[in-house]
Amino acid sequence: MKSDSKNRFADRPWRSLALAGAVLMSTSVCVYAQTMPEPTTHQVTRAEVMHELEELEAAGYNPSQGDDGAYPADLQAAEEKVAAKHRAERNAVTSAGQTAQTKPAP
């Protein structure tokens, strides 16, 4: 009988270790499954940068002036003009789409 009780006590640490390992493995899988993938950042192309610069120049920004003290204000003013132009274009497209939907069919 004594040998049975020794085997039973010797068997418990292995069971505990196996149970702890299984719990740790299952929780790590759950944590990994719940993580959101990092959103990929859009790599700006040279053409997009050149288009933005053309829009800023059309709005009054002159990059050849350099840093004359008015640089940040000039650039921010041009960016605001471009943003206002884009908002006006979006609003025009949206309102044109809404008026087209409200007209009765002939």
pLDDT digits (tens, 9 = 90+) for 68-105: 777 888 889 999 999 999 999 999 988 887 776 555 55
pLDDT higher at 38 or 83: 83
DSSP conformation letters of 24-78: HHHHHHHHHHHPPPPPPPPPPPHHHHHHHHHHHHHTT--GGG-SSS-HHHHHHHH
What pLDDT does residue 22 have?
73
- Are 86 and 94 in contact, with CB atoms under 8 Å apart? no
**Residue-level pLDDT at 5:** 57
21 sits in which H/E element? helix 2-34
Instruction: Return the pLDDT at 84.
Output: 96
Share of the chain above pLDDT 90, in %: 33
Considering 4-8, 10-14, 38-42, the range whose residues carry the highest mean pLDDT is 38-42
CA-based nearest residue to 14, from 26, 22, 5: 22
| pLDDT at site 56 | 94
The domain segmentation of the chain, as residue ranges, is 46-102
Rounded to two decimals, what is the model's pTM?
0.52
